[in-house]
Amino acid sequence: MRTTTTYQPKSIEAFKEQLLIWAQQFEDVVWLDSNSYQQDYSNYDAILAVDGFTSIQTDYHEAFNKLKEYQSATKDWIFGYLTYDLKNDAEKLTSNNFDGLRFPDLYFFQPKKLFLFKNNSVEIQYLNYVSDEVEADLSEIETTYPPEKSQKVSNDIKIKLRIHKDDYFKKVEAVLNHIRRGDVYEANFCQEFYAENTEINPLETYFKLNEISKPPFASYIKFHDKYVLSASPERYLLKQGKTVVSQPIKGTARRSDNMEEDKTLKINLENDQKERSENIMIVDLVRNDLSRTAIKGSVNVKELCKVYTFKQVHQMISTVISKVEPVTHPIDIIKSTFPMGSMTGAPKISAMEIIEKLEETKRGIYSGAIGYFNPTGDFDFNVVIRSILFNASKKYVSYSVGGAITAKSNPLKEYEECLVKAKAMREVLEN
With a CB cutoff of 8 Å and minimum separation 6, the contacts of 235 are 41, 216, 217, 245, 246, 247, 380, 381, 382, 383
From the candidates 250, 323, 421, 423, which is the catalytic residue? 250
Closest CA to 361 of 99, 85, 59: 99
| CA angle in degrees (0–180, nearest 5) for 176-180-181 | 115
Does residue 421 carry a catalytic annotation? no
Q: Would you say 20 and 87 are in contact if contact means Cβ atoms under 8 Å apart?
A: no
- Backbone torsions φ then ψ of 91, nearest 5 degrees: -135, 170
- Round to whole Å and give the CA distance between 382 and 369: 5
Determine how many CB atoms are found less than 10 A away from the CB of residue 30. Answer: 28
- Backbone torsions φ then ψ of 57, nearest 5 degrees: -140, 130
- Round to whole Å and give the CA distance between 150 and 399: 22
What is the rounded end-to-end Cα distance, in angstroms, of the chain?
Answer: 46
Angle between helices 133-142 and 12-22 (to 10 degrees): 110
From the candidates 186, 192, 204, 234, which is the catalytic residue? 234
Instruction: Render 245-275 in DSSP notation, one character per residue.
Output: EEE-EEEEEE--SSHHHHHHHHHHHHT-HHH
Buried-exposed string 223-252: b where 16+ CB fall within 10 A, e elsewhere: beebbbbbbbbbbbbbbeeeebbbbbbbbb
CA atoms within 13 A on the CB side of 412: 0
Does residue 250 carry a catalytic annotation? yes
Catalytic residue positions?
234, 250
